[in-house]
Structures are given as C-alpha cells and as structure tokens.
Structure 1
C-alpha cells in the first residue's frame, strides 16, 4: 500500500443479506478505482444474539469520496442489496 488507509464508510446490509469479503473487496476497489483499499467485518450482536454485521470500508487518503460513494451505491443497488452507507470522518 502506498498510502496510509483510513476508514471512510460503514456499510450495513439489510436483514438476511450478506456478502463475502472477496466480493466486497472487489466492489469497493472498483468503486474507488484503486487497489489501495481494505474491508473489514464485525458483528453488532451483544454476545447472546447475532446482530447484523457491519462492514468497514477503508481507502488511501488520496481517494475521491463523492465519485467512489456514487459508484459503490450503484454497485450495491445493482446486486439488489438493501443497505445503509454511512460516512466516517477522514
């Protein structure tokens, strides 16, 4: 990686929806038009119940947020995902 990566979005998918890390990584790299990206997943459950997973989308500091967000939303919608995509501070 040429740049330090920062978390730029948090993605929640709709109930009963999931995506594999490889698919998400490809979609995010396509949206950012860069391979200087990363994705991570964490469960939002409290230990007794399984909550919806939350995905963090990471990019290098030089990425362009607005076009990347627009492309990512289009890619998710094209695959039929119900989702929220929340900005995080840079």
Structure 2
C-alpha cells in the first residue's frame, strides 16, 4: 500500500463466500466516497477447512470512519454477505 493509505478495517466473509478484488474495491470506494482507497487479501491458513476469506481495507488520511463503516456494512448486507468488519488503529 502507499504511504498515504492507512489500514482501517479487516473484513472477514462467511466461509463459503467470496468477492473479487474489483468488486470489493468499488464497494469500499463507494463507502468512503473517495477513490483514495486500497484493498488487499490476507492469505488463508492452508489445510484449515473453516478458513474465512479475509481482506484489509485501506483509506487515505482524510478518511471519515463512522459514515464509511455504516455505508460499507449496508452495501455488504444488501448483497447478502455474512461478515465481520473489525476496526484497526489509525
């Protein structure tokens, strides 16, 4: 990630769910109301049958956490995802 981005959330999806990086990027940019974002996928533990897809959500320094979180949760719920969205320190 660029030095202008900070990691703000970790997203875990349900064990039988997935999302492509392009779709996730669009959803996260929409939630942040900014193209100044990044997403990355964390590697899953091999051989662990219940491993859930895990993603890191990054934003620019001018990020507004509470409204972006509400919008991201609404977007994920509207698409039927089972998920946890965990805050990380800014």
TM-score normalised by structure 2 residue count: 0.91
2:23 maps to 1:49 = no
Report the Cα offset of residue 56 of structure 1.
0.2
Structure 1: stretches of 5+ with no match in the other structure: none
SS at match of 1:85: strand
Conservation of the 8 A alpha-carbon contact between 2:10 and 2:87: yes
Instruction: Provide the aligned length of Structure 1 versus Structure 2.
Output: 87
2:68 maps to 1:68 = yes
SS at match of 1:80: coil
| Structure 2 counterpart of 1:26 | 26
In structure 2, distance between residues paired with 1:36 and 1:20: 19
| Structure 1 counterpart of 2:78 | 78
Report the Cα offset of residue 53 of structure 1.
2.1
Q: CA RMSD in A?
A: 1.3
Structure 2: stretches of 5+ with no match in the other structure: none
In structure 2, distance between residues paired with 1:15 and 1:40: 18
Q: Deviations over 1:9-56 (max 9, x none)?
A: 0000012000000000000000000000000001231x3335222100
| Structure 1 counterpart of 2:15 | 15
Conservation of the 8 A alpha-carbon contact between 2:31 and 2:69: yes
